Amino acid sequence: MAPPNHCLAALARLSLTAPARPTTTPTIPKFLLPSATAPSPLVRYASMSKKRTKKRKTYKTFRCYDQSKAKKFSLCDAIRYIRAIEVGKPPADVKYEIAAKLRTQKNGPIIRGRIRFPFAVKTSTRVGVICPEDSPIAAEAQQLGAVAVGEESLFESIRAGNITFTKLICHPESADALKKANLGKILGPKGMMPSPKTRTITADLQGAMQELIGADEYKEKLGVVRLAIGQLGFTPHMLSENLKLFMSQLKHDIDNGDEYHPKALDEVVLSSTNGPGFSLNGTFSSSDEKVQPEHLQSVM
């Protein structure tokens, strides 16, 4: 027996024929139906196709937080905590790291650069040089201490996955050959593809190699510039020298940026390989007058 409302509908059409629409009620709950089967014609989903999703607000800048209540540390205080947390770790393996947060837009140019610290953080860098084979330039590169020199032979070894270097320079005479070799897919993800932008396609091999060996690269990612600025074994003064140089160079980069995409420094956080992040307040001396900088340079 059909439900009364169906009978009424049939009467309204003054007909006793079978109802125009099938009256079968599904025996299985809807949510159990496999999605592959077509929906019953009885069921009409008013807003299934254009279900309204709540529109999320999009921001053009990276989020910055109120710093007024945040706890800030002087450099020596942060070093004291970090040295306590990292006690017993090999001092050359553990690095002090800096994260400089910027107030900046999400689009637009980013800050990137290279810095030569007065006290080198890295312990080993090997350089490869792309230049015409058996030329005076190749001889010069080898003299300067490049571990791999050449053009086609070097490309072959890169394709074979035999990469003995950690940095790569290209002489302008070989720039066209490098372009034709199509190595961007291999070298690009490693950050070793030479380009004039990063000053790694250059005729001044000596200058470039010196800069690469003693230089560290930094790059803004998601509004933050991160860089290792020292080893755990450094004294507070060594670390402060490195930090000062980095901050002045970063400030220079910020000031000389695109005027349509202004940037400003928001926060500077010092952390270490295994330690938490200490927001720095820009001062040097410890808040505990019993702890002097020379107390923070014993063997770790």
Partner 1 sequence: MTGPLSRTNKLAGLVRLRSGPGAAILPHDVTRIHLEFNHKYNGGHMGPRKFWREALPGLKFWNPAVPMVVNRSNEKDAPATLTLYFREAGVKLPDLMQTGSATDGTSKAPAPVPGERAVQIHMKNRRSEAILKEFMDKSGAVPVKPTPQDELELRELADREAIGEIDRAVSLKQNEERRKEEEFLRRTRAALADSQANM
Contact 20, 10 (CB under 8 A): no
Structure tokens at 148: 């791999």
Contact 204, 196 (CB under 8 A): no
* Shortest distance in whole angstroms from residue 1 CB to partner 1: 26
Cβ atoms within 10 Å of 78's Cβ, excluding its own: 26
In the three-class reduction of DSSP (H, G, I as helix; E, B as strand; rest coil), residue 295 is classed as helix
Site membership for partner 1, residue 92 (CB under 8 A): yes
The residue from 30, 31, 50, 259 that contacts partner 1 (CB under 8 A) is 31
Site membership for partner 1, residue 247 (CB under 8 A): no
Instruction: Look up residue 115 and give its amino acid.
Output: I
Site membership for partner 1, residue 222 (CB under 8 A): yes
Q: Minimal CA–CA distance to 44: which of 19, 28, 21, 27?
A: 21
* Shortest distance in whole angstroms from residue 234 CB to partner 1: 12
Cβ-based nearer residue to partner 1, 74 or 210: 74
Cβ-based nearer residue to partner 1, 183 or 270: 270
Q: Minimal CA–CA distance to 129: which of 211, 218, 208, 216?
A: 208
User: CA–CA separation, 194 vs 130, rounded Å?
Assistant: 9
Site membership for partner 1, residue 130 (CB under 8 A): no
The residue from 16, 32, 38, 46 that contacts partner 1 (CB under 8 A) is 32
The residue from 5, 25, 27, 37 that contacts partner 1 (CB under 8 A) is 37
User: CA–CA separation, 178 vs 170, rounded Å?
Assistant: 8
Contacting range for partner 1; rule: CB under 8 A; set: 123-131, 141-149, 203-211, 291-299? 291-299
The residue from 10, 224, 245, 265 that contacts partner 1 (CB under 8 A) is 224
Q: Minimal CA–CA distance to 239: which of 180, 184, 280?
A: 280
Structure tokens at 142: 């080898």
The residue from 145, 276, 283, 287 that contacts partner 1 (CB under 8 A) is 276
Site membership for partner 1, residue 85 (CB under 8 A): yes
Site membership for partner 1, residue 99 (CB under 8 A): yes
User: CA–CA separation, 240 vs 296, rounded Å?
Assistant: 13
Site membership for partner 1, residue 90 (CB under 8 A): yes
The residue from 169, 269, 270, 280 that contacts partner 1 (CB under 8 A) is 269
Cβ-based nearer residue to partner 1, 63 or 197: 63
User: CA–CA separation, 215 vs 213, rounded Å?
Assistant: 6
The residue from 41, 88, 161, 282 that contacts partner 1 (CB under 8 A) is 88
Helix residue spans in the chain (DSSP H): 4-12, 75-85, 136-143, 152-159, 175-181, 184-190, 205-214, 236-255
* Shortest distance in whole angstroms from residue 299 CB to partner 1: 4
Residues that bind partner 1 (CB under 8 A): 28, 31-34, 36-37, 65, 67, 70-71, 80-81, 83-85, 87-93, 99, 101, 222-224, 233, 269, 276-279, 291, 294-296, 298-300
